[in-house]
Structures are given as C-alpha cells and as structure tokens.
Copies of this chain bind each other. A is one copy, B any other.
Amino acid sequence: MGVINHIKKIRIEKGITQIRMAEDLQVTRQTINAIEKNKYNPSLELALKLVDYFDVPIEEIFILEEDET
C-alpha cells in the first residue's frame, strides 16, 4: 500500500532541472529530489501543484498501489 510517482520521468521529458522545478513550485530542491526518489510522498497541496505544473492528469504522475492480498 502506497503511492509511487513518475515525476523524474516527466521532468526529464520536459527538460526541466530539479533546481528550476523547486524555484517554480516554491519548495526546496531537496524536497523535489526526495519525492523523485520516493523517499516520501508529497503533501496533497504539492501534489496538486505538480499536476498543474506539468499539466498532465494526476493518474499519469501518481499511482496508488493496492494492497496485494
């Protein structure tokens, strides 16, 4: 059970650096890096900002992994 994301993939595709993303989204570079490395999930607020930032559907960025029985 948990959430994984495809932020790094999307960021690279768009040719954006972690540094620029952090500035644009008003968080630190370490936050972007940690989320890309799936160290933890973004807050809902940051997740929604990421959706707006990349302009892609949320399902293309964040995947809710179901509990495998």
Could you list which residues of chain A lie within 8 angstroms of chain B, going by C-beta atoms?
Answer: 1-3, 41-45, 47-49, 52, 58, 62, 64
Chain B positions within 8 Å of A3 at CB level: 44-45, 48
Copies in the complex: 2
Compute how far the CA of A48 lies from the CA of B3 in the bound complex, rounded to whole angstroms: 9
The 6 A-B residue pairs with the shortest CB-CB distance, nearest first, are: A48-B64, A41-B44, A44-B47, A3-B45, A44-B44, A3-B44
Chain B positions within 8 Å of A62 at CB level: 44, 48
Chain B positions within 8 Å of A52 at CB level: 64
18 A-B pairs with C-beta separation under 8 A: A1-B45, A2-B45, A3-B44, A3-B45, A3-B48, A41-B43, A41-B44, A41-B45, A42-B44, A43-B43, A43-B44, A44-B47, A44-B62, A45-B64, A48-B64, A49-B64, A52-B64, A58-B58
